[in-house]
A and B are shown apart, each in its own frame.
Chain A
């Protein structure tokens, strides 16, 4: 909402404050002032000039040489490029020294050899938006129709010495969608009164009802309709002050009749519409729901197809307007119009909202109806428009409006006690102070028995319950006055749930291992959504995605992490290690909501270790990432319960991929990207993993409390063995077989060498293990170790193709 302060000051006296102070007070009381705009843009040396003579520039077809009277002793020669400049016109002249809003400095100049002592201006050059400039002057200079002395300050004459407040209204404050609404707000803030506009009319004897009949068929959608008939109207441009008011409010002037309806719309917040009585043809207005598929050409010359839910104004035969949204071209006021029907109505908001949304037609009218107009201003706005038609268009108002009225105009009652208010604010405001504030806001206030009984002004449709009154009192009393306290009473201990605490641990481990936490989007493409998913489940798609790229909820974090790697690699960040904790979306529950499962995923590429000057650099590989997972499992106390099993997953390297099992259940995967996937993504050797965090942390939280095991007092002994085994036998099988044998003294098994070179027989490899034996009770004797070791060897012997070297 744009508020011209010149206009506002017609209703309320703000002279005690500067414009900036006023803006600050309005903001602090609840309506945010986004900007304070000086509509003169601090210009000077801009005057009215009279073009005495015009001739063609000898050297340029499109330029004219004008002799202009700017109120000085001599005529000034000014070169003008506008096609519409002519002798006899009153125009706006920027004299040398003027600085225009675009920053252009006017100087004496020569244009193609001819002197120019200034510039004849368009409104755009004075800072007016093109869409607001009257159409006649949209392509050229602005011509002032009225008589005015040359040399007069143009900014004064055109009412540009004004300040515009740009209000950012919250949706509840539809009362401030009008100049009067803002005036009431300002008057309440400044504790002063509002001067209302003149709505007095002296009708002629003829009765409107003799010319016009009215029938409202849908009284829910249209509980009130006022039609006024004004005859002998002379359609012409509006006076400058009215045009300027509209432009300041963001409305383009058209002609006096339409301008008046728009002016009253801005003044009262009550949308009006003017029909050409003669073009209505039938002398009849019928308000009804449209028939399905019915058509109307609206004022913007577009043909609109209507639905049975749309409300239309008809002439009894065909639609002449879409109620509350836009008028029809067939009944539009033109230069030939002499008799005007002014419509002031109350259209129910939801219907207007639906229709305007569906048609993509949001107008100043629909915006106000949607939010609900003041029932008590419908008639007043009609009267105000009629009185202006008399004043500015020479019209005669017919007696007795044609009216349908079933609208409830009663003021709502709210009873509130000062204790209620103070208890909610944590303040001690007296009942008298509350009463004073509410009276400033134009509430009817009766104070009795320690309670305030309030009648809420009908323009304040946002005030419904006692809590609304609390806010009204607080905002005018000043939010600054509210003290600062902290909640009293019993409190619990604030702490994370075990899951949340462990999730932080997971992050700490991943970061300690050298990975950065990443964040990616939950929405992805339908192609990427199911890639690498740990579980097979239906996907969840948006009804109306903005793009295919963000159309489906993901089932794995890996695709977007790979995308992040590609982003980095494309920018020469070749070594990347990222992890993410986020949800995946699987299937749907009985409400249609997907099951959201939190996962942790990681991706690594490039160098893992980069210590080149000592000759230590290492590219990432499968085991780097596996090591990170193992560290995580140790931290979560799950390392004994986790195993890795070779697996094949689409998009991953078939020889370098494993499923991760927790107690034998699949909870994750790890693998190198398939070379084809890497090529497609534009990345080099890249390894990824993803784990079901719900499953992991549930297991981590479901285990015995941590307890200490005695540090061994006796030394252990170790034995190394090198095995020759089949290439496709996994080292893990050997470890599993040894563990299976349950050798009591065996403490630890580690692999310390793997050899697959040409010294081995075809299809064979050598794997060396180190075995540690220990008895916490005594120093081991040789024969005990031998006995244990033999059990191990026996276990190994059960694996086909495996023998000790």
Chain B
């Protein structure tokens, strides 16, 4: 009987090891350890043994049963591992294949520049003011110290709708309108918008373009405030290392007037093709608001002063992003527009 037990043990263990999956293994379990299995038969046969042999044999059978169960569990674990491994292997994917596209558009580069400037100045207490693209001659010219027949009107060739109505040639009429509306109160505004000039469209000219202007009116506003403000602007838009230089200039609506250059962001000032070897790039114009402009808007120019500045948004964008043809901004080629996706610090 002992021998039979030994043979049985070897047989079971062999069968267990031969199983390839949990189903086969379960069949083996049922066949040998089940109620109708040979081990149960063996135990049933114990009655025939002597009382001395019975405990010995019982221990042997239990030992064998334990061993078989152990091996069985071990093998079950192995089979499971094997099955998981097979599943994982079959489920492997090529992770380099492209993901499912999530469509995402982006701002037009001109809007991007405008919003960047708006945000900078809102942080300094400016409001964003807007006005009509079709303006009255009064707000576009006369309120800005450009009476009819003024030679400086030559500087800006105008699209007229009628003798008194025109497409605004700059965003300055928004300044005039805002001052008038404020009725003598302090003003801090930034005015973005579309403007129009009689120009034939080419790489550097556009009959429609964008400007953004700033205006501060209050008691005690000084030219040094303009300079400090512009310095902040230049550093935000073109980098902390930028230096500015102001040059005297002329605009009918400011006195004194300035033009601002920034140190070239490409060469740092040593001279390159971007700055035309001068080390400086002309960026904007500005000045102290002309007393005639203040008076026309109802301010007492002996008490209140102001500064204003303005720039072409296309120019800023062209400089900032290295765009070489102004027409790109208006043809809306997706290969152009999609280049302005990523964020900037």
B329 contacts the other chain (Cβ, under 8 Å)? yes
Question: Are A578 and B332 CB-contacts (below 8 A) given A426-B225, A494-B123, A522-B208?
Answer: yes
Question: Are A487 and B221 CB-contacts (below 8 A) given A468-B255, A519-B108, A610-B101?
Answer: yes
B115 touching A467, Cβ below 8 Å: no
Question: Are A522 and B223 CB-contacts (below 8 A) given A468-B255, A546-B207?
Answer: no
Q: Is chain B's binding surface mostly helix, strand, loop or mixed?
A: mixed
A594 contacts the other chain (Cβ, under 8 Å)? yes
Q: Distance in Å from the Cβ of A181 to the closest Cβ of chain B? A: 15
Stretch at the interface among A470-478, A672-680, A734-742: A470-478
B248 touching A471, Cβ below 8 Å: yes
A370 contacts the other chain (Cβ, under 8 Å)? yes
B229 touching A479, Cβ below 8 Å: no
Q: Distance in Å from the Cβ of A485 to the closest Cβ of chain B? A: 4
Q: Distance in Å from the Cβ of B253 to the closest Cβ of chain A? A: 12
Question: Are A491 and B188 CB-contacts (below 8 A) given A350-B149, A567-B331?
Answer: yes
B288 contacts the other chain (Cβ, under 8 Å)? yes
Residues of chain B with a CB closer than 8 A to A550's CB:
207
A518 vs B338: C-alpha distance in the bound complex, in angstroms? 11
Q: How many positions in chain A have a CB within 8 Å of any CB in the partner chain? A: 95
B59 contacts the other chain (Cβ, under 8 Å)? no
A170 contacts the other chain (Cβ, under 8 Å)? yes
1/0 per residue, CB under 8 A from B, across A493-531: the answer is: 111110010001001001111111111111100000000
A694 vs B108: C-alpha distance in the bound complex, in angstroms? 21
A35 vs B162: C-alpha distance in the bound complex, in angstroms? 40
- Nearest A residue to B98 via CB reads A613
A577 contacts the other chain (Cβ, under 8 Å)? yes
Question: Are A500 and B255 CB-contacts (below 8 A) given A489-B219, A592-B164?
Answer: no
A244 contacts the other chain (Cβ, under 8 Å)? no
How many B residues are at the interface, by size bracket? 35 or more
1/0 per residue, CB under 8 A from B, across A115-147: the answer is: 000000000000000000000000000000000
Residues of chain A with a CB closer than 8 A to B222's CB:
423-426, 485
Question: Are A571 and B333 CB-contacts (below 8 A) given A29-B248, A468-B255, A486-B229?
Answer: yes
- Nearest A residue to B162 via CB reads A592
Question: Are A487 and B305 CB-contacts (below 8 A) given A353-B149, A475-B248, A585-B134?
Answer: no
A791 contacts the other chain (Cβ, under 8 Å)? no
**Considering residues B136, B151, B257, which has the most beta carbons from chain A within 10 angstroms of its beta carbon?**
B151
Residues A559-616 near B (CB distance < 8 A): 561, 564, 567-568, 571, 573, 576-579, 583, 585, 591-594, 596, 608-611, 613-614, 616
Residues of chain B with a CB closer than 8 A to A492's CB:
125, 127, 188
Residues of chain A with a CB closer than 8 A to B257's CB:
471
A592 touching B161, Cβ below 8 Å: yes
1/0 per residue, CB under 8 A from A, across B309-331: the answer is: 00000000000000000000111
B337 contacts the other chain (Cβ, under 8 Å)? yes
A465 contacts the other chain (Cβ, under 8 Å)? yes
A483 touching B115, Cβ below 8 Å: no
B165 touching A480, Cβ below 8 Å: no
- Nearest A residue to B338 via CB reads A516
B53 contacts the other chain (Cβ, under 8 Å)? no
A397 vs B237: C-alpha distance in the bound complex, in angstroms? 65
- Nearest B residue to A464 via CB reads B255
A629 contacts the other chain (Cβ, under 8 Å)? no
A427 contacts the other chain (Cβ, under 8 Å)? yes
Q: Distance in Å from the Cβ of B176 to the closest Cβ of chain A? A: 15
A482 touching B224, Cβ below 8 Å: yes
| Contacts A/B (CB < 8 Å), 30 sampled | A423-B220, A424-B288, A425-B222, A426-B223, A467-B291, A471-B256, A475-B256, A480-B246, A482-B223, A486-B225, A487-B216, A488-B225, A489-B219, A494-B127, A496-B122, A511-B105, A512-B104, A518-B332, A520-B330, A523-B207, A542-B161, A542-B167, A543-B162, A553-B134, A573-B333, A585-B134, A591-B136, A592-B162, A592-B165, A611-B101
